[in-house]
Amino acid sequence: MMAVALSCTGEGFGHASRTVALADVLRTRYRVVIFCPRHLFGFMRDNLGDVDLEEIPYFSFVKVRDRIDYPRTVWTNLPAALRFPISVSRIARRLKRRSVQALVSDYDPFCSYAADRLNMPILQINHPAVVLRQREFSLESWLARVVSLVLMGKYHRKLVVSFYNGDVGPLVRRAITRQPVRTEDFFVVYLKPGYRKVMVRALRRLAIHNVQVFPDPRKNIVDYLGRCRGVISSAGHQFMSEAIVLGKPVFVVPQTGQYEQMLNARMLEESGRGMWARMDDLDEKLREFVSSVDRYPQPPRIRGVRFRFSDDLPRAVAQIERFLQEAHTTAYQPRRPMDRIFRWPAASGVTAGAGLSA
């Protein structure tokens, strides 16, 4: 049985959720090993049971109140960046020891560089790369593009996961798709602590008390997600997508200064599946959303955007398997996204081949 590694970054749980969805299917056909940060081990085991796990480092964002602090982010990640070559060497040895033959990576540069050292086929599948398909010209959009290029590392083929303009639509874990769906009179609020306090105060000001606030270790959010009237969250793509797949209207507050979340929020509203707000117009927009929640879904408001609102996991798995099959018969050179900025030398003894799009 072919051994396949799945890797993901540890920033948020969206990357981990997609990895769980893929692993749940792929492990019936391949020997799967998951490389992820240690704080995700519990999540992986809760969703997959007995699964092979290997620890890897990751780059994290430092957030102050409602925005990313980029100087502190750079400083905090400097030690991991300096240890990057050593980390890559250690991961390459573990990939080799595990007899891994291919890598499917979700925004993790550590394993992708390690796999490249072993001339291993690398498939990059993530959502943040959707920013590379936008034609906006702003400092935030350009910064998002550079970050996306760096964090993807090396790959031979890329699949963008997105409910808008993706190569595939949302990838949703089995716990979500098997959840019975009905509508009860409460809202799920899922936010990190800084945003959660602001949102709860806004809900109280508007006399909206029928809410269930998460994370809450005493409650199963999946159960509440299937029964709620609507969802209030940040603009992270994965949780939004899970709510959309279940047919739940969504209200989001994107992280200030995070272009990808701003883009997700705008596309959510254009798709007719929800609304978004900034902190300065939160009360007004939140009141509007709650009063009009039963009017969703609405027709998309924009043309020329490819929306997908259902679980696209089977199609994503089919494309991964096609990649794995082609990898046995095609010689190719890893795509180095930063080649457009820095001229990286080609790996010796590896030639470009046909059949795999970058």
Indicate whether 51 and 149 sit together in one domain.
Answer: yes
320 residue type, one letter: I
At 171 the pLDDT is: 98
Alpha-carbon distance of 314 to 320, in angstroms, equals 10
307 DSSP β-pair partners: 164
Indicate whether 15 and 141 sit together in one domain.
Answer: yes
Q: Residue 306 falls within a domain, yes or no?
A: no
Beta strand 274-276 with 250-253 is parallel
Alpha-carbon distance of 295 to 171, in angstroms, equals 26
Angle between helices 109-117 and 84-97 (to 10 degrees): 60
Q: What is the tally of helices (H) and strands (E) in the chain?
A: 13, 13
Alpha-carbon distance of 237 to 173, in angstroms, equals 14
DSSP string across 81-129? HHTHHHHHHHHHHHHHHTT--EEEEES-HHHHHHHHHTT--EEEEESGG
Angle between helices 139-152 and 109-117 (to 10 degrees): 40
Read off the CATH number of the domain in which 202 is found.
Answer: 3.40.50.2000
Indicate whether 183 and 331 sit together in one domain.
Answer: no
At 65 the pLDDT is: 65
Q: Residue 350 falls within a domain, yes or no?
A: no
Alpha-carbon distance of 327 to 182, in angstroms, equals 44
For 117-139, b where at least 16 C-beta lie within 10 A, e where not — what string? beebbbbbbbbbbbbeeeeeeee
Indicate whether 34 and 111 sit together in one domain.
Answer: yes
At 113 the pLDDT is: 97
Indicate whether 102 and 236 sit together in one domain.
Answer: no
Indicate whether 215 and 142 sit together in one domain.
Answer: no
Give the chain's domain count.
2
318 residue type, one letter: A
Beta strand 230-234 with 187-190 is parallel
Alpha-carbon distance of 20 to 23, in angstroms, equals 5
Indicate whether 246 and 329 sit together in one domain.
Answer: no
At 334 the pLDDT is: 53
At 12 the pLDDT is: 84
Here the tokens at position 53 are 């796990």
Alpha-carbon distance of 309 to 181, in angstroms, equals 15
Q: Residue 140 falls within a domain, yes or no?
A: yes
Q: Report yes or no: 298 and 274 within 8 Å, Cβ to Cβ.
A: no
Collapse the DSSP code of 36 into the 3-class scheme (helix H, G, I; strand E, B; otherwise coil) and give the result: strand
At 358 the pLDDT is: 43
Segments of the chain with pLDDT less than 50: 338-358
Indicate whether 281 and 206 sit together in one domain.
Answer: yes
In the chain, what is the straight-line distance between the N-terminal and C-terminal CA atoms, in Å? 27
Indicate whether 116 and 181 sit together in one domain.
Answer: no
Q: What's the pTM value of the predicted model, to 2 decimals?
A: 0.89
For 285-323, the pLDDT digits (tens) are 999 999 999 999 999 999 889 999 999 999 999 999 999
Q: Residue 162 falls within a domain, yes or no?
A: yes
Q: Residue 272 falls within a domain, yes or no?
A: yes
At 193 the pLDDT is: 79
91 residue type, one letter: I
Q: Residue 348 falls within a domain, yes or no?
A: no
Alpha-carbon distance of 44 to 62, in angstroms, equals 24
Indicate whether 27 and 121 sit together in one domain.
Answer: yes
Q: Residue 301 falls within a domain, yes or no?
A: no
ω into 337 cis (within 30 of 0): no
For 83-94, the pLDDT digits (tens) are 999 999 999 999
- Per the structure, the complete domain to which residue 225 belongs is given by 177-295
Indicate whether 32 and 165 sit together in one domain.
Answer: yes
Indicate whether 133 and 202 sit together in one domain.
Answer: no
Q: Residue 304 falls within a domain, yes or no?
A: no
